[in-house]
Chain A
């Protein structure tokens, strides 16, 4: 990217000075946030900005792979695991070793100085740029393909073996062996008949909820033929939440209406 926007300012410089500070701030926020889910989202922000910097450095293939593989796959995997176990934030700030945090920060600063000096010494002169290398095979993707399927084909095949091994390993690690036999349909039916034989519990389905003139929700209990309330007709969870509603009161309007009908019918018969 050598297109000049304004004199001496290139697109790469604009991308760097916008994305660089955002990345550093998001990385610090990732380390400092108490909740793991915020850390994961800040890390995703770092990775997206890094992808933009790749694009500004003439690496369009890595730009796309960074977004698909890192922000798409890896960070979503992180978020899944955070959903599974990340609620645990107890004791995150308790130091087990005295002076651990300041020592760590000093180690980080020392590491930064060492890295910056040691790697900075590897730089010789201004950047050549990869435009020529990109154009050799007609593009960045073609150039990388020529490398991956030519010079580095063995390493490329090894990574495929690595990925397969990782997938199998994850399945083996995440698999939980069943300690008790599965409670399947046959076992369920047997248990039901067993209960009928020993305790006399009705083996068939339970009665459905009551249907009244003004109410037919699943929270209204049904009335048995003898006029008593059937507690089995309402789910135990609903009873625990809001109690059993009064079925006799629910049936009262219908009874009143029938009584009024009877009276009206009697009057009609008298006229006739």
Chain B
């Protein structure tokens, strides 16, 4: 299997993640788009691990998963905290830093 296909697939998923991050207003879906981008980069790491014939890429992918898990825990608790204070998960409403 030509690694080029995997690179294109990862790039497509990453681009969809970018678009989702930009156009969605719900903080949860924005966060899911970030997860999609992390997954796309993981796919690239695994692919390049196979291209170069060593396991360092897979180890890096493992670290990305660990960091993503920690990030999700903190990020979701921040979203819940903001929702408690503002009764909204809409990213357009969080504008306190503007003023």
A199 within 8 A of partner (CB): no
Q: Which residue of A lies closest to B15 (CB)?
A: A112
Instruction: Please determine whether B13 and A133 come into contact, CB atoms closer than 8 angstroms.
Output: no
A85 within 8 A of partner (CB): yes
Chain B interface residue bracket vs A? 35 or more
Instruction: Please determine whether B16 and A31 come into contact, CB atoms closer than 8 angstroms.
Output: yes
Partner of B11 from the list A27, A58, A89, A115 (CB cut-off 8 Å) is A115
Q: Which residue of B lies closest to A100 (CB)?
A: B23
Supposing A47-B39, A107-B19, A163-B66 touch, asked if A16 and B5 sit within 8 A by C-beta, the answer is yes
> Considering only CB atoms and an 8 Å cut-off, how many residues of chain A contact the other chain?
88
Instruction: Please determine whether A31 and B90 come into contact, CB atoms closer than 8 angstroms.
Output: no
Instruction: Please determine whether A78 and B32 come into contact, CB atoms closer than 8 angstroms.
Output: yes
Partner of A88 from the list B5, B31, B89 (CB cut-off 8 Å) is B89
Instruction: Please determine whether A128 and B53 come into contact, CB atoms closer than 8 angstroms.
Output: yes
A220 within 8 A of partner (CB): no
Supposing A74-B72, A85-B83, A107-B18 touch, asked if A20 and B5 sit within 8 A by C-beta, the answer is yes
For window 149-183 of A, CB contacts with B under 8 Å fall at 152, 155, 159, 162-163, 165-167, 169-170, 173-174, 176
A92 within 8 A of partner (CB): yes
For window 75-97 of B, CB contacts with A under 8 Å fall at 76-81, 83-84, 87-90, 92
Instruction: Please determine whether A62 and B70 come into contact, CB atoms closer than 8 angstroms.
Output: no
In Å, the complex CA distance between A65 and B2 comes to 25
Instruction: Please determine whether B13 and A39 come into contact, CB atoms closer than 8 angstroms.
Output: no
Residues in B whose Cβ lies below 8 Å from that of A169: 73-74, 77
In Å, the complex CA distance between A116 and B50 comes to 18
A253 within 8 A of partner (CB): no
A40 within 8 A of partner (CB): yes
A10 within 8 A of partner (CB): yes
User: Could you tell me the distance in whole angstroms from the C-beta of A14 to the nearest C-beta in chain B?
Assistant: 10
Residues in A whose Cβ lies below 8 Å from that of B67: 159, 162
Instruction: Please determine whether B14 and A81 come into contact, CB atoms closer than 8 angstroms.
Output: no
User: Could you tell me the distance in whole angstroms from the C-beta of A214 to the nearest C-beta in chain B?
Assistant: 49
A53 within 8 A of partner (CB): yes
In Å, the complex CA distance between A36 and B1 comes to 35
Instruction: Please determine whether B32 and A40 come into contact, CB atoms closer than 8 angstroms.
Output: yes
Partner of A81 from the list B28, B33, B46 (CB cut-off 8 Å) is B28
User: Could you tell me the distance in whole angstroms from the C-beta of B91 to the nearest C-beta in chain A?
Assistant: 10
In Å, the complex CA distance between A12 and B18 comes to 27
Instruction: Please determine whether A31 and B63 come into contact, CB atoms closer than 8 angstroms.
Output: no
Instruction: Please determine whether B46 and A59 come into contact, CB atoms closer than 8 angstroms.
Output: yes
In Å, the complex CA distance between A61 and B42 comes to 13
Partner of B76 from the list A54, A78, A94 (CB cut-off 8 Å) is A78
In Å, the complex CA distance between A167 and B15 comes to 31
Residues in B whose Cβ lies below 8 Å from that of A13: 1
Supposing A81-B80, A173-B78 touch, asked if A108 and B11 sit within 8 A by C-beta, the answer is no
In Å, the complex CA distance between A66 and B24 comes to 25
Closest 4 CB pairs of A and B: A128-B53, A112-B15, A104-B22, A108-B19
